[in-house]
Chain A
Amino acid sequence: MNLQFLADGLITGSLIGLGAIGVTLTYSILRFSNFAHGDLMAWGAYAALTLLGLISALVGSVAPIGVLSFGWPLILAAGLSMALVGGMALVLDWLLFARLRAKGQAIIVVMASFGASMALRSLLEFIFTSKPAYFSRAIQMAMPVGLGIRVTPDQIVLLLVTLALVVAMHLFMERSQTGREMRAYSQNPALARVVGIDVARIVRATWMIGGGLACAAGVMVGILVQIRPLMGLDMLLPMFAAAILGGIGSIPGAVLAGLIIGLSESAAVQLVGAEWRAGVAFAILMGVLLIRPTGLFGVAER
């Protein structure tokens, strides 16, 4: 058996996990399934693409860093886009979700996120057309790393970046005051207010983080694969499956589950054929819901 699927699965899985952090946070803190989360990814990729174009227009062409396919302009564009998409998520919340949340029916908010998802996606197709776009035209050579596995330098670096983001996120949730408040709020919103936690600030932090990480995942998919308006939609089911398999609210859970799903997907591609890829996340999702609805690290709702 060819072990290449391990490398592919690890990389896809880490990106699924990164996106799933936002899904699991919105679910546990704002208490709804945000189906527009994938579209924040796509918007993030296009925002970075646009900013990259602007930067290149200003400073001319910049050589890539070492063996990578991209240089500092893309890193800068990605950083700015993360802030932009975080801000965009805030605007979306202010325009749409906050008003509906105040009415207290979660299902209406979920439906609204469906609508927002379609609108955001159509807007991308309208502005950028549905033709795939790329950050760079350069072709990267995959290097053999043993056991018959080949990876590109981009893949290795982005895997490390993802790892760093996940660790930073985990430390933020565990060690910072805002992280503690977010965990407290997700456990008991009413008590959070009583003890003096500013709910509005928690909601803002959740959107900024969820949007920022979605954008980071989107840019990385853009670097490793391609940029398309539908890229977020394609990631949506695996991200939800990861959030649920990991246990709602658990960041390590979401990341580990993302890896499991990524690896299962690429194993399935190799073993039974590429057309089964999308079915894997679905099968895992159904299995978890039936056998252990609280997921790997989840706790039962009180």
Chain B
Amino acid sequence: MTAILQVRDLVAGYEPGLDIVRGCSIRADTQEIVVILGPNGAGKSSLIKAIAGLVPVTGGQVLLDGQDITATPAHLMVRRGLAFVPQTDNIFPLLTVEENLRVAGGLPPRPESAPRIDPMFALFPDLARQRRLPAGSLSGGQRQMLAVARALIVHPRVLMLDEPSAGLSPKFVEMVFARLAEIRRSGLTIVLVEQNAKAALSIGDRAYVLVEGRAAHEGPARSLWDDPVIAELYLGQRRAS
């Protein structure tokens, strides 16, 4: 197994002198689903935003397939093969569903991009029916699918998702996660930040628990779920649900 994404001692924060990510190291191997868990405010979102070039990085390194992509301007990340689905506001509500897909950077112009669109609609048939409607009219689950579809359409090597299950009904959570497991089989590496530890660990291969901006624990997804110490410390309340 070779690491496609390697994060070494990453330090990042929104304001100078106020580090949120404090020397975090994680890695993701080819075709792996890596889950990142952790209490609220641990810096999970900040970590993947820093990897995506959206939070100023002051130390450490991000390597994608051995290439240093630390602090590459965010809009170029997609072209390097790193796609990111933010936690909230991850679609353009006034653009149609299809426009949301076509606006993805790095897509070739019209005639060549058409064959990219249809597979997305095949993957998420709900979206196909509404392709000409404003994305703002979609349900929460459909928006999440659209955001994932837009990330996939550029054929990334690594897909990072920030809480794709947030605010979704259990039925949709199952559906989104089933899709992710399916997508992974096509050769994609997935980094998944989740509050819904149970669902995430059930499809994940490996997991990290992030505490105060650092990866405090690492292990196979299954054993993390079974580890009583970690369960109590960081996943406690959620385990009951």
* Chain A residues near B (Cβ < 8 Å): 177, 180-181, 183-184, 187-188, 190-199, 299, 302
* Chain B residues near A (Cβ < 8 Å): 52, 54, 73-79, 84, 86, 89-95, 99, 102-106, 109-110, 150, 154
Residue contact B103 to A197, C-beta cutoff 8 Å: yes
Q: Name 20 interchain pairs, CB-CB below 8 A, sorted by A.
A: A177-B102, A177-B109, A183-B92, A187-B92, A187-B94, A187-B95, A188-B89, A190-B54, A191-B89, A191-B91, A193-B54, A194-B54, A195-B78, A195-B104, A196-B75, A196-B79, A196-B104, A196-B105, A197-B105, A198-B105
Return the chain B residue nearest A193 by Cβ. Answer: B74
Known: A177-B102, A180-B102. A194 touches B95 (CB 8 A): no
Residue contact B86 to A196, C-beta cutoff 8 Å: no
Return the chain B residue nearest A183 by Cβ. Answer: B95
Residue contact A194 to B74, C-beta cutoff 8 Å: yes
Residue contact B103 to A195, C-beta cutoff 8 Å: yes
Nearest CB in chain B: distance from A231 CB, A: 34
Residues of A within 8 A of B90 (CB): 191, 194
Residues of A within 8 A of B94 (CB): 183, 187, 299
Give how many A-B residue pairs fall within 8 Å (CB-CB). Answer: 65
Residues of A within 8 A of B150 (CB): 195
Residues of B within 8 A of A196 (CB): 75-79, 104-106, 154
Return the chain B residue nearest A202 by Cβ. Answer: B75
In the complex, besides A193-B54, A194-B52, A194-B84, 5 extra interface pairs with C-beta distance below 8 angstroms are: A191-B92, A195-B104, A196-B77, A197-B105, A302-B93
Known: A196-B77, A299-B94. A180 touches B105 (CB 8 A): no
Q: Is the interface of A mostly helix, strand, loop or mixed?
A: helix
Nearest CB in chain A: distance from B169 CB, A: 23
C-alpha gap A194/B77 in the complex (Å): 8
Residue contact A184 to B92, C-beta cutoff 8 Å: yes
C-alpha gap A8/B103 in the complex (Å): 41
C-alpha gap A299/B92 in the complex (Å): 13
Return the chain B residue nearest A174 by Cβ. Answer: B99
Residues of B within 8 A of A183 (CB): 92, 94-95, 99
Residues of A within 8 A of B154 (CB): 196
Nearest CB in chain A: distance from B95 CB, A: 6
C-alpha gap A187/B93 in the complex (Å): 8
Residue contact B95 to A184, C-beta cutoff 8 Å: yes
C-alpha gap A198/B89 in the complex (Å): 19
Of all A-B residue pairs in the complex, the 5 with the closest CB atoms, nearest first, are A196-B105, A196-B78, A193-B74, A184-B103, A184-B92
Residues of B within 8 A of A198 (CB): 75, 105
Residues of B within 8 A of A184 (CB): 92, 95, 99, 103
Residues of B within 8 A of A194 (CB): 52, 54, 74, 84, 86, 90
Residues of B within 8 A of A192 (CB): 75
Of the candidates B75, B91, B154, the one having the most CB atoms from chain A within 10 angstroms of its own CB is: B75
Return the chain B residue nearest A196 by Cβ. Answer: B105
Residues of A within 8 A of B89 (CB): 188, 190-191, 302
Residues of B within 8 A of A299 (CB): 94
Residue contact A193 to B95, C-beta cutoff 8 Å: no
C-alpha gap A2/B2 in the complex (Å): 82
Residues of A within 8 A of B84 (CB): 194
Residues of B within 8 A of A195 (CB): 78, 103-105, 150
C-alpha gap A296/B109 in the complex (Å): 33
Return the chain B residue nearest A195 by Cβ. Answer: B104
Return the chain B residue nearest A181 by Cβ. Answer: B103
Residues of A within 8 A of B77 (CB): 196
